[in-house]
C-alpha cells in the first residue's frame, strides 16, 4: 500500500505540474499574439480556450490513474 500511495501522489503531482506549465505557455503565447495582432483577438482566444481544455484533461487523467493504482 505504501508504494501505491507514493505512485499515486507522483502521478497527480506531475500531471498538475505539466498542466500548469502548459497552461502558462498557452496563455503567454496568446497574449503575445494579441499584442501583435489585436484584430485577431477573438480567434486567438477561442483557440486558447480549446487548448487549455485539452491540457486540463491531463491532471484529470492523472487522478484517474492514481485511483486505479490505489484500488489495485
| Band of pLDDT at residue 52, cut at 50, 70 and 90 | very high
| DSSP per residue, 17-36 | HHHHHHHHHHHHHHHHHHHH
pLDDT above 80 for 10: yes
User: What single DSSP character describes residue 37?
Assistant: -
CB-based contact 26:51 (threshold 8 Å): yes
CB atoms within 10 A of CB 44: 18
CB atoms within 10 A of CB 23: 15
Instruction: Provide the pLDDT for residue 61.
Output: 92
Topology (CATH level 3) of domain 3-71: F1FO ATP Synthase (1.20.20)
Predicted TM-score of the model (pTM): 0.82
pLDDT above 80 for 1: no
Q: Which three cell numbers stand for residue 11?
A: 502521478
pLDDT above 90 for 7: no
Q: Where are the domains of the chain?
A: 3-71
pLDDT above 90 for 69: no
Amino acid at each position: 500500500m505504501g508504494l501505491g500511495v507514493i505512485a499515486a501522489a507522483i502521478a497527480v503531482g506531475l500531471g498538475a505540474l505539466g498542466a500548469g506549465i502548459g497552461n502558462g505557455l498557452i496563455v503567454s503565447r496568446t497574449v503575445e499574439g494579441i499584442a501583435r495582432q489585436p484584430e485577431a483577438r477573438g480567434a486567438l482566444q477561442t483557440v486558447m480556450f480549446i487548448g487549455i481544455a485539452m491540457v486540463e484533461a491531463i491532471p484529470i487523467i492523472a487522478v484517474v490513474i492514481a485511483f486505479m493504482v490505489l484500488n489495485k
